[in-house]
Amino acid sequence: MVVLAAIPSISVLTVSTRAASLGFLHGVLTAAGIVVGDLLFIAIALWGLSFLSSALGSLVFLIKYLGGAYLIWLGLRLFRAREQPVEAQSISHSSRVSSFLTGLLITLADQKATLFYLGFFPAFLDMSQVSYVDAGVIMLVAIAAVGGVKVIYALLADQTRFLLGGGLSTRLNAIAGGVMVAVGLLLILTAA
Model confidence over 49-69: pLDDT tens digits? 666 666 666 665 666 677 677
Residue 163 has what pLDDT?
42
Residue 170 has what pLDDT?
62
**What span, in angstroms and rounded, lies between the C-alpha atoms of 46 and 118?**
8
Residue 191 has what pLDDT?
64
Higher pLDDT, 57 or 139: 139
The CA-atom distances, in angstroms, between 185 and each of 45, 68, 127, 138 are 20, 6, 18, 22
What's the angle, vertex CA 185, arms to CA 146 and CA 10, rounded to 5? 30
**What span, in angstroms and rounded, lies between the C-alpha atoms of 2 and 145?**
5
State the chain's mean pLDDT as an integer. Answer: 76
| Percent share of the chain, pLDDT over 90 | 19
| Confidence bin at 161 (pLDDT 50/70/90) | low
| Confidence bin at 117 (pLDDT 50/70/90) | confident
Q: How many CB atoms lie within 10 A of CB 140?
A: 10
Find, among 186, 10, 42, 15, the residue nearest to 113 by Cα: 42
Residue 165 has what pLDDT?
47
**pTM for the full model?**
0.65
Residue 25 has what pLDDT?
94
**Confidence check: pLDDT of 150 > 80:** yes
Residue 164 has what pLDDT?
44
Contact criterion met (CB below 8 Å) for 51 and 58 = no
The enclosing H or E element of 187 equals helix 168-189
Orientation of helix 24-56 relative to helix 132-142, angle to 10°? 150
Residue 90 has what pLDDT?
46
Average pLDDT of span 30-50: 87
Model confidence over 72-112: pLDDT tens digits? 776 677 667 665 544 444 455 567 888 898 888 888 877 66
Higher pLDDT, 1 or 32: 32
Which region among 54-58, 93-97, 125-129, 164-168 has the lowest average model confidence (pLDDT)? 164-168
Average pLDDT of span 126-135: 83
